[in-house]
C-alpha cells in the first residue's frame, strides 16, 4: 500500500517490533530500525535516506530531537510516537517543520494501526505537478503612484465586523486596492511597500478617508450607523499635520469622530516620542477610537496597552485558526477577553473562517468578529448591495446549523 522506505526509532524493543510489524502490514517496502539517535544516524549515513521516520523523543544517549536536527537531510517526513505531554509534542511538531522535515502528525503511544494508516494516507505529499515559472512582478515607480493618485485609482475595499451573537454589522475595515488600467485590481502586497518607500502613506490615507467618509455619511442618512476603521502606520504619528487633515475631512463630510477608528499594526514599533504620543492623544480627544491590530504577535503588547490610549484590540487571526487544533488558543482567547473587559476596551476576533470557529468563539464569550465566514473585502457598490440585502443578519444558531448555506458571497 505504501511503497516507501521507513525508519523506526524507538528504544523499547517490544514497541519497536510492533511499529516495524505495522509498517510491514501497511505494505512498506523497507523498514529500518534503531534503538537510539546515534545508531539511527549511523544507519542512515550508511544506507541512505528514508521517506518516513517514526520517531520517539525520550531515549538514552542521543534523543529524538538531536537526531532529527542532525539527520534532517536524510528524512523526508516524521511521525511522532512519544509519551511526552501533548503541549510538548505540539511544539516538537513546529520544530520538525522548521528543520525542513514534513511533519505528518502525532501518533502518540501506544501505536495504533488505524491511526498510523490515516496519518500516512492523509498526510504524505503527492507528486508536485510541473507549474510554469511565475512571471516577475513589476513594482510600480514613483511616477506611476502619483499618476494613480491623480486619477483616483486607489479605491476602498470594505470588510465587515459583525456581532457574533446576532450577525448585525458593527462596522467595516477600510482596505486599499489599486484599480490600475491594464493591470487589473492590485492587492496591497504589490503597492504598499512602494507607497512606504516613497513616503506616500499620508496621501493614501487621505484618499481612503475621503472616499470612506463620503460613503459613511450616505449610510448614516439611510439609518446605518457603522464604525469605519482605517489602518494607520506607526510612522504616520510623527506627522502632526495629519491630525489637522483628519479633522478637516471629518468636518467637511459631517461624520462624527466617534464613528472612526484608527488601527495601528502591532507588529510595527511605535516610536516613544512626544509627537507620536501627542498624535494618539489628539485622535482620542477628537473622539476617534484607537485599535491595536494583530495583538499578540508584535512588540511589547501588554506594555503598549498600559501606556497608550487604545479603545480596541484585534486578536491576531493565528489564535482563531489554531482554535480547534491547539487547546492553548482557547485559554489565550479567554484570558484576552478578561483583559479587554478589565481595561474597558473592545476585543475583535480576526480571521474567522469556519462555523466551528464561530461556535467556539461565541461559547467563549467573544462578541465581535471579522473573517471570510461572514464576508470577504468588497468594493463600495458590492458592500452597499450586501448591506441592503440584510444577508449579514443571521444568528449564532444559523452559523452553527450544518445545513445552512451561504446565500451570497463577494470575493
User: Sheet holding 50-55: strands in order across?
Assistant: 30-34, 5-9, 50-55, 75-80, 102-106
- Rounded Cα distance between 372 and 136, Å, is 29
Contact between residue 345 and residue 375 where contact means Cβ atoms under 8 Å apart? no
CB-facing half-sphere around the CA of 328: CA atoms within 13 A: 6
Whether the CA torsion 333, 337, 342, 347 is positive or negative: it is positive
Determine how many CB atoms are found less than 10 A away from the CB of residue 76. Answer: 17
Contact between residue 283 and residue 244 where contact means Cβ atoms under 8 Å apart? no
Helices and strands of the chain, counted as H and E runs: 16, 14
- Rounded Cα distance between 280 and 289, Å, is 10
Determine how many CB atoms are found less than 10 A away from the CB of residue 79. Answer: 23
Q: Which one of 350, 356, 398, 406 is the catalytic residue?
A: 350
C-alpha Rg value of the chain to the nearest Å: 27
The packing angle between helices 13-25 and 113-123, to 10°, is 50
- Tell me the three cell numbers of residue 185: 485590481
The packing angle between helices 274-286 and 240-253, to 10°, is 10
Determine how many CB atoms are found less than 10 A away from the CB of residue 2. Answer: 16
Contact between residue 408 and residue 386 where contact means Cβ atoms under 8 Å apart? yes
- Tell me the three cell numbers of residue 14: 517490544
At 386 the three-state DSSP class reads helix
Active site (annotated) includes residue 406: no
- Tell me the three cell numbers of residue 17: 517490533
Return the DSSP state at 215: H
- Among 174, 209, 188, smallest CA distance to 140 is for 188
| Residues, the chain | 411
Active site residues per annotation: 350
Amino acid at each position: 500500500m505504501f511503497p516507501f522506505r521507513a525508519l523506526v526509532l524507538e528504544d523499547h524493543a517490544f514497541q519497536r517490533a510492533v511499529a516495524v510489524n505495522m509498517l510491514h502490514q501497511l505494505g512498506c517496502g523497507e523498514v529500518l530500525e534503531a534503538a537510539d539517535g546515534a545508531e539511527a544516524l549511523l544507519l542512515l549515513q550508511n544506507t541512505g535516506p528514508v521517506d518516513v521516520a517514526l520517531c520517539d523523543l525520550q531515549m538514552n544517549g542521543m534523543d529524538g530531537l538531536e537526531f532529527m536536527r542532525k539527520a534532517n537531510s536524510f528524512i523526508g517526513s516524521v511521525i511522532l510516537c512519544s509519551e511526552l505531554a501533548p503541549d510538548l509534542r505540539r511544539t516538537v511538531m513546529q520544530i520538525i517543520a522548521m528543520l525542513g522535515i514534513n511533519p505528518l502528525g502525532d501518533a502518540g503511544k501506544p501505536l495504533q494501526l488505524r491511526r498510523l494508516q490515516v496519518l500516512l494516507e492523509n498526510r504524505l505529499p503527492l507528486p508536485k505537478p510541473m507549474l510554469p515559472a511565475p512571471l516577475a512582478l513589476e513594482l510600480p515607480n514613483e511616477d506611476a503612484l502619483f499618476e494613480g493618485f491623480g486619477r483616483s485609482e486607489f479605491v476602498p475595499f470594505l470588510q465587515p465586523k459583525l456581532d457574533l451573537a446576532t450577525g448585525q454589522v458593527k462596522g467595516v475595515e477600510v482596505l486599499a486596492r489599486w484599480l490600475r488600467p491594464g493591470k487589473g485590481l492590485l492587492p496591497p502586497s504589490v503597492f504598499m511597500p512602494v507607497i512606504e518607500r516613497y513616503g506616500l502613506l499620508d496621501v493614501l490615507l487621505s484618499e481612503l478617508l475621503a472616499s470612506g467618509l463620503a460613503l459613511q455619511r450616505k449610510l448614516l442618512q439611510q439609518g446605518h450607523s457603522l464604525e469605519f476603521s482605517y489602518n494607520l502606520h506607526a510612522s504616520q504619528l510623527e506627522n502632526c499635520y495629519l491630525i489637522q487633515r483628519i479633522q478637516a475631512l471629518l468636518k467637511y463630510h459631517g461624520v462624527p469622530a466617534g464613528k472612526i477608528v484608527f488601527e495601528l499594526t502591532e507588529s510595527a514599533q511605535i516610536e516613544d516620542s512626544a509627537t507620536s504620543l501627542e498624535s494618539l492623544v489628539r485622535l482620542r480627544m477628537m473622539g476617534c477610537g484607537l485599535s491595536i491590530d494583530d495583538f499578540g504577535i508584535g512588540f511589547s503588547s501588554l506594555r503598549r496597552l498600559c501606556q497608550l490610549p487604545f479603545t480596541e484590540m484585534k486578536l491576531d487571526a493565528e489564535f482563531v485558526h489554531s482554535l480547534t487544533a491547539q487547546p492553548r488558543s482557547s485559554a489565550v482567547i479567554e484570558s484576552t477577553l478578561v483583559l479587554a473587559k478589565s481595561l474597558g476596551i473592545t476585543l475583535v476576533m480576526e480571521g474567522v473562517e469556519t462555523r466551528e470557529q464561530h461556535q467556539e468563539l461565541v461559547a467563549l464569550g467573544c462578541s465581535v468578529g471579522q473573517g471570510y465566514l461572514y464576508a470577504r473585502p468588497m468594493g463600495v457598490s458590492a458592500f452597499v448591495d450586501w448591506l441592503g440585502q440584510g444577508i449579514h443578519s443571521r444568528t449564532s444558531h444559523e452559523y452553527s446549523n450544518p445545513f445552512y448555506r451561504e446565500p451570497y458571497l463577494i470575493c
